[in-house]
């Protein structure tokens, strides 16, 4: 009578935990806990090692963790997962801005007319294009950077093309009273240069 053939040893396999995402309230490294990888098969005992251990600090960003299982017969297999530490979303204390000034604030730009002057240079004219103004550009940048406050931001454009600084000084108190901004961006005096 022959002995029964022993069942073959199942191949060693390892299963890593799912990806882990944790916030970092202060933007510093945080201790991250994760479950140990599970193993099946192989010749016991099976040793598991990972490039980072549960309970170790992780900095802001994504860190790949590679885990390797090795059995008594020196067979090995690996798996990996990612630990992501997210930075805090920045917040501004002020969200209502007044951009006060002259034509530069209003968005006045030089555009060619398509005609040439006697010296061959292209004739141009000044036109106000609000979407090209720095207040509009600032609003878009604030909304892109401070996503948690995107809908709260206001940048009121109180630019007045051709305004001299002395006229702006007269106009400013009324605009401040009606707009009631939390911060003011002031650009005046360009019209006096060379006057």
Q: CA-CA distance, 80 to 78, in Å (whole number)?
A: 7
Q: CA-CA distance, 11 to 73, in Å (whole number)?
A: 11
Model pLDDT, residue 122: 80
Percent of the chain with pLDDT over 70: 98
Q: What is the CATH number of domain 13-86?
A: 2.60.40.10
- Give 49-97 pLDDT, tens digit per residue: 999 999 999 999 999 999 999 999 999 999 999 999 999 878 899 999 9
| CATH topology for the 96-114+122-192 domain | Rossmann fold (3.40.50)
The reply to whether 13-86 and 96-114+122-192 are identical in fold is no
- Domains of the chain: which residue ranges? 13-86, 96-114+122-192
């Amino acid at each position: 009578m022959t002995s029964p053939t022993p069942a073959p040893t199942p191949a060693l396999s390892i299963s890593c935990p799912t990806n882990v995402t944790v916030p970092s309230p202060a933007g510093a490294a945080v201790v991250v806990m994760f479950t140990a990888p599970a193993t099946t098969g192989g010749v016991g005992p099976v040793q598991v090692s990972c490039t980072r251990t549960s309970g170790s600090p992780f900095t802001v960003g994504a860190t790949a963790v590679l885990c390797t299982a090795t059995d008594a017969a020196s067979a090995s297999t690996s798996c990996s997962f990612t630990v992501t530490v997210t930075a805090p979303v920045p917040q501004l204390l002020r969200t209502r801005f007044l951009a006060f000034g002259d034509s530069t604030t209003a968005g006045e730009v030089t555009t060619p007319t398509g005609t040439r002057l006697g010296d061959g240079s292209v004739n141009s004219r000044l036109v106000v294009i609000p979407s090209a103004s720095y207040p509009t550009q600032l609003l878009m940048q604030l909304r892109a950077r401070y996503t948690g406050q995107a809908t709260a931001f206001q940048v009121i454009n109180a630019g007045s093309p051709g305004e001299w600084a002395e006229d702006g000084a007269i106009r400013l108190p009324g605009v401040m009273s009606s707009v009631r901004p939390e911060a003011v961006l002031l650009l005046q005096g360009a019209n006096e240069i060379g006057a």
